[in-house]
Structure 1
């Protein structure tokens, strides 16, 4: 838009100097001349005022033009104004830099010349001919300075004149290539973060599992030893039965068979076999249950939600924690008569409860006498299931209460805690739609409360 130039100052005639050159006319007296001079002075004063106002308007117009030009040049979005025929009338610096052309090279060119494909040209032509009088947002591919297509989200707004007659179109566009690339990078970073979080969760689970290895090994040793003992007995019984069957096949006399039956204690063997087999099966089943529990606990969370009785998960976690303690504290726990139904993943919830119980046992490890206790309470109402784990330890320092669930925050000595257990537990509980909180108990030490939505809640 060309700037408007100031009007040059022109000297105005002096009415007084003109009066000296006027010759008196017949029939006109001095009063008439004075009226003429007064009118001329008024006209001269009005001319001066109009010229001053014109100069002020011109200065204001120049300021407005400078303001608009500065706004257009500072825009990061591209701006293009075209006429009714689609020829460029005005552009901003962002568009010039994008296409690698100067403003003079772009003015007067068709808009379609700078569109990369036929589809963009058709969309632009349709938008410029739209008679609705409302702004449209379409996606176009512009040719950049290297002649490559560049995706742009363009807002197309009609430029209206008098009587709302369409004079052209105003285009404001924002290149979306960088945004799309940044979005894909953000998606990739989010996926990597989720994978790292899952690996971190699994690592912490393995660390918790490592603390329970001694207790689990002892727990496995009993049924395995039982199965091994029964297997050795079965091997002896097999040898006796084989000897007795060989004698039968050799058709020995009744007296010899009776003597052999008594010496091999066949009757005792036959009566002992059912109990021996039942005990072996029980030991094998106990071993299988423990191994299955290990697999559930160590398996990666597949986000599968099933109906669980939280009391069963709690008792399984309690058994493991007790077996892993060299000198287990007194644990007060009475299972409620009614089940505690929740929807969740067995392994992660067991990890949460194991962590809470393990922390409670660690908190009272240095206590003596009556302070070495852990109390577990559980109840449910129509909406939620709650489990509280309290201990007789020293409690949580007030300055640590606000940071207790922060990642890598721990009050344990170096090498005895990663600071991730409670943080990961908090995340698991939130994923299950519940809440995990910590406070100091009125009785003695710390109290952690786990609250989960009830599975059959309305």
Structure 2
């Protein structure tokens, strides 16, 4: 009975138990063993009488063997399926997971474990998204999974922003489905997600570029379009839509130029497109006109280029229409203005030019062509040094241009240029030209021929100089006449005074001699008073002698004389006084001086007077230099006081005697008074004020001149100029 029950139980398990291959194989084995044992037991009891039971047992054994084979086959298939599944889970680059109804991870692959920062899939089992993500992301994932479980509908192709391990952010493409058991009951969820960060970044970049390109073409004032080979519009910008009167660019998509342009223009454009698609050559800057009705005729420039696939197949045309109406009108107006400006420049008598910052000519007028003997075609675009032979002139022109650009203001100057070998004078004004941003872009030059004016100005200046010299001569002559008249008056006065005073002084002198005999020798005070009176008479006699010499009209005792010898004789007369005054003498006598007619005694008197004056100017001593030399007179002042026809003139050969001292010099205010009678800068009793007046008169009687000049290096130079005799005399 027990064996029968076990066999029956095994058969029921096979009929109603789970479909697991292992459990079914175990049940069949138990059932077979029970039946075989039961049959063997009955056979032993019944013997060989029950043939049917034996056959039944044999069939049961065969079925058991078949069941065992099927069991092994099922186990192999199961192991293969598990191997495929594990291989898929291990090597697929996407993240694969299974979760229970409470969103706990049941199984994950290695890729998902690594993306979540785990070393092995087992580290994630039993955990939820809240263990790996922020609440916001984890809560949303939980809501999605609960919705899937409740509705039975999965989520496919959902892109989610996600923060990966180590803080890296990115995007994943997720598919989530309900997880069912064998009976179809939902017991959780499973899904797969792929890292599409690079794809999303590329898509976002392309989207940004598309938006930038769209914004760019829509902001262009030019009309931009893309058409397929059938001339259907694929892309147009706002300017194109507005131009043809469409409400929006989208309205034109799929339409052709036939829908917007006149038949003739559309037909010509179609032929042009076919030719371009056949040849592959673009259409560049084709000019054409279009009558827009109320807008009038518009001037357009079209550029079209074929769009070619990598395999060389043409899939469309991109083109651009640019409205050049305003530019063309402005260009025509500019050309007209330039023609008018050129005509104005060409008819100007001035020389006009325009250069860029590099010194290359941009514009010249006819006056410039005539000045340099060149056609403007030979000048435009070239620098000065490329066609002007004189490189110094070219360099000067360039330097002036650079000065104008540096100063940023006009420069005016006078220039001398040679035209046909003749010098011509020009007054030039060079000035910078500024662009709209205040930067210098060119230098302009206007030059006016002022040769005639320059000649007239030079002539006028020469005449003015002559008038000034004449006026100076007249002024000097006037002063000399006054001086001469004054000298004549003083001379007559001196002559009268000398005559009237000389005799009384002689009588006083005789009285003093008589008085001297009567004063006792022991009367010292009387003797002293008498000596003072004698000295006063001697001083008065010297003054009278000077007056007589000044006013004397006696003839000179002229004899041919050696000037150097006369000077040496005068030096011998003052040599003692010079040594006493600590004055050293330096002589610079020229050799082979011609002999001239002199009153040697009078000239010695003049030289002694000049040397004594020089010695007195050097109170603490110094050097006195006396020199003689012959020269030709380059300038001669006309002296109306010398009433002879033999006075000095420019070009005369003369001998000069110069005496240089190292004194303090003469006050400029006193230079004009030095030769006035009785004018002296010496203390009272030292000089009479007649020495220079008498010396000058003596020199003038020799038809010469006497000058006193302050030297640049200090001191005074006394210069006597005497005329040499003419050749043959």
Q: TM-score, with normalisation over the residues of structure 2?
A: 0.27
Q: TM-score, with normalisation over the residues of structure 1?
A: 0.41
More strand by share: 2
